[in-house]
Amino acid sequence: MTDKNIKQVKEFLEARDTKVKILAFEETTRTSELAARAIGCDVAQIAKSLVFIIDEKDAVLVIASGKSRVDTRKLAEKLGASDVKIADAKTVKETTGFPIGGVPPVAHNKPLRTFIDARLMSFPVVYAAAGTPNAIFGIAPEDLKNITSAEVADVFE
């Protein structure tokens, strides 16, 4: 695992005393379904990192269960915003430093206000992208919440 993105995620986690093993796969893990198949877990255990643009200027991160869909109206209401939309690939890369399909919940170019899906909190381990579309790490959801300073929020359909 010499990839620069994976190394960045690994160093971020180690700097916070979060011991995880990053798993790299031959096949892609860029969707929740593909990641769950590679790991052998339920799709709901996949912690997908989604970037949204708020009122055309600020970015926020939502860590959603692989089975959840973000309700942009609920997210806008939570943020007191008038407009919320999913970020495009270029904005995601600029904001986080990572490509879509490999965006981890940590180690971004700049800190992002983060929300986490309450559904993830019921699992002993959840799995998140580790910086590339074929690398994943497992982590206790409470640890993920803590290292991302995430707020548990119901902003889902």
Span 24-36, pLDDT tens digits: 999 999 999 999 9
Segments forming the whole domain that contains residue 107? 4-153
The Cα 110–Cα 73 span in angstroms is 25
**How far does Cα 81 stand from its chain's mean position?**
22
pLDDT in tens, 10-21: 999 999 998 899
pLDDT in tens, 118-131: 999 999 999 999 99
State how many domains the chain has. 1
Amino acid at 92: V
Identify the pLDDT of residue 19: 84
- What is the CATH number for 128? 3.90.960.10
- Beta carbons within 8 Å of 135's beta carbon, 6+ residues apart: 1, 3, 5, 6, 9, 22, 23, 24, 25, 29, 102, 129
